[in-house]
Amino acid sequence: MDTSKLQGRRFKNQEELLEALKVLYAEDKIEYTRQRGADTQFPINENDQWIILNDCLEGAGSASDYFFQDMWAAREIYRSNVKHVFDIGSRLDGYIAHLLSMEVHVTLLDIRPLPKKIEGVDFIQANATDLSNIPDNSIETLSSLCALEHFGLGRYGDPIDYNGWKKSLHAIKRKLKAGGTFYLAVPVGKDECVQFNAHRIFKPATIINELTPELELHEFSYIDLSNARIVTCLKGGDHKNYAEVLSPQMVISLKRDYNADVLEYVTKNLPAKYQTGLFTFKKNSLTLPDSLK
Specify the pLDDT at position 117.
96
- Please classify residue 128 by burial: count the beta carbons closer than 10 Å to its beta carbon, then call 0-12 exposed, 13-18 middle and 19+ buried: buried
Residues 6+ apart with CB under 8 A from 28: 1, 2
SS3 state of residue 274: strand
CA gap 57, 77 in Å, rounded: 36
Query: What ranges do the domains of the chain cover?
Result: 10-57, 65-292
Specify the pLDDT at position 286.
57
Q: What is the pLDDT of residues 127-185, one digit of tens each?
A: 999 999 899 999 999 999 999 999 999 999 999 999 999 999 999 999 999 999 999 99
Specify the pLDDT at position 39.
96
Residues 6+ apart with CB under 8 A from 144: 87, 88, 89, 90, 128, 168, 172, 182, 183, 184, 185
DSSP state of 290: G
CA gap 247, 230 in Å, rounded: 13
Q: List, for the chain, all residue ranges whose pLDDT scores fall below the cut of 50.
A: 237-257, 288, 292-293
Distance of CA 43 to the CA centre of its chain: 43
CA gap 272, 201 in Å, rounded: 12
Kindly state which CATH superfamily the domain 65-292 is placed in: Vaccinia Virus protein VP39 (3.40.50.150)
Specify the pLDDT at position 240.
36
pTM for this entry: 0.85
Query: Radius of gyration over alpha carbons of the chain, in Å?
Result: 24
